[in-house]
Amino acid sequence: MGTPKYQASIQKELNLVARQEQALHKAAMRQKTPQWKTNLQDKVPEKVYLNLEKAFCKAFQVIFDKGTDWIEKTYDAQSIRNGYEVHDFAFQMQADRKVLKELRRQASRTQMQGMLTTSAEGIGLGVLGIGLPDIVLFVGVLLQGVYKIALHYGFDYRTTSERYFILLLMEASVQKGEAWEACNRAVEAFIAGQMVDVTDQLTRTAQAFADDLVLAKAVQGLPLVGVLGGLFNPVCCRKVMKYAELKYRKRCLLRLYESSQGR
């Protein structure tokens, strides 16, 4: 189980993760807010931003406190757990990289499912002219996707530390530039088992989403242009799912590699 083939298979997947992380870093550093968007954001009243931040804070609190059981009714959590255990056992026995690739493919399907759901949710509510009231639903869809990714890679999202990690992942995914680098360092510190500052993480994540979506939500609340605002949801979902899948995959691979060291 701790054979050279076992470790080589994991290392090849970790090398892929490193390349994808590099690509994400480059994309985050070259992201710039278009001038037209900046001009429109400047016209959004401060009250709208503050209300949006409060709405995201409330949404995360409500779902973490009361909504996880409801979210779990939308998928078979035990089936996903069993799937991971089957893949884990198969890899322990065979040390075949194909098993890790299949694990990655299954987790990646969650990204597409989440994007399709947020597209329907965002555009549908946009047509109705609903902006702020859909935030709990939107956050619920995002957390559903991240929860399923966590399960695919063998992690329990119900613990306090894992919820912090999820909030940190979500904050990092919508940041850009130096803010992205700072969040990404915190994510890597968590993965490495280092002590990280968990103070006000929910608020920081809510602020990041408010910054990223303030224009979209303001527009989504207007019936005539609501569809435009709704289209921003799948864009945000893609960023969250892509980043979360990559970091959970990395944690899973590192855990497998570390477990082989003691064999």
Checking if the pLDDT of 227 tops 70, the result is no
Supply the Cα-derived Rg of the chain in whole angstroms.
Answer: 19
Residue 183 one-letter amino acid: C
Residue 36: which pLDDT band, with cuts at 50, 70 and 90?
low
Give pTM, 2 decimals.
0.86
Number of domains forming the structure of the chain:
1
133-159 confidence digits (pLDDT tens)? 578 888 888 899 999 999 999 999 999
Residue 142 tokens read as: 């995002």
Q: Indicate the range of 46-60, 86-100, 168-182, 243-257 predicted with least confidence.
A: 46-60
CA dihedral 68→71→72→77, nearest 10 degrees, is -100
Cα four-point dihedral sign 248, 249, 251, 256: positive
Q: Where does residue 208 rank: exposed (0-12), middle (13-18), buried (19+ CB within 10 A)?
A: buried
**How far is CA 112 from each of CA 6, 89, 94, 220, rounded to the nearest angstrom?**
30, 27, 29, 23
Q: Indicate the range of 44-53, 154-163, 181-190 predicted with least confidence.
A: 44-53
Identify the domain containing residue 16 by its residue range: 4-261
Mean pLDDT of the chain: 83
For the chain, first and last CA: distance in Å?
7
Residue 19 one-letter amino acid: R
Q: Indicate the range of 17-31, 131-145, 169-183, 228-242 predicted with least confidence.
A: 228-242
**How far is CA 36 from each of CA 28, 32, 146, 183, 219, rounded to the nearest angstrom?**
19, 11, 32, 27, 14
Residue 178 one-letter amino acid: E
**Are the beta carbons of 9 and 96 closer than 8 angstroms?**
yes
Residue 113: which pLDDT band, with cuts at 50, 70 and 90?
low
pLDDT for 230: 47
